[in-house]
Amino acid sequence: MNKPAKADKTIRVTRAFGNIVEGEALVSTEGFSPRYDLDRWSGLISRPGHALEGHNIKDKILITPSAKGGIAAGWAFYDIQHKGISPKAFVFGVTNPVMVQGAVFAGITITEGWSADPYQLIRTGDIVRVNPAKRTLTLVRRASR
């Protein structure tokens, strides 16, 4: 398999908050809401028909194009973080203030916007790193397939 050049492995994000984190990517083609889509007791995406139905967000780096409504996410992120089932980071294409307020309150890394389509570079299971200070999302290594 051809390895992409190093520069091709990094995507710039527009806005970011939080610590540097590295972990397994969970890539969704569909937007996300912790209220509409998530079982907040297990961490499983439970909404029937969601692109990630049946996947668990625990310790993942969740890459999703958009945020869905739901003001309750503000408490939900804090709740799932204390239950030990939160992802390591949320990487949004476009987000809304609820997600940001919730992530900041819970101390979970969050980013919004990307310089290139991450779906071309990153697949579920790949190991990626989010660096909020540098505003980067980097593919560290491919999942073994």
**Sites of contact with other proteins (CB under 8 A):** 15-17, 31, 35-40, 46-49, 65-76, 78-79, 81-83, 94-98, 100-102, 104-105, 110, 112
Minimum CB separation of residue 142 from other proteins in Å reads 29
Q: Which residues contact 129 (CB under 8 A, 6 or more apart)?
A: 20, 21, 22, 136, 137, 138, 140
Minimum CB separation of residue 38 from other proteins in Å reads 6
Q: Which is nearer to other proteins, 112 or 126 (CB)?
A: 112
CA pair distance 67, 69, nearest whole angstrom: 7
Minimum CB separation of residue 21 from other proteins in Å reads 16
Contact 140, 35 (CB under 8 A): no
Q: Which is nearer to other proteins, 11 or 34 (CB)?
A: 34
Minimum CB separation of residue 93 from other proteins in Å reads 9
Q: Read off the DSSP letter of residue 47.
A: S
Strands annotated E in 18-125: 21-27, 61-66, 89-94, 109-114
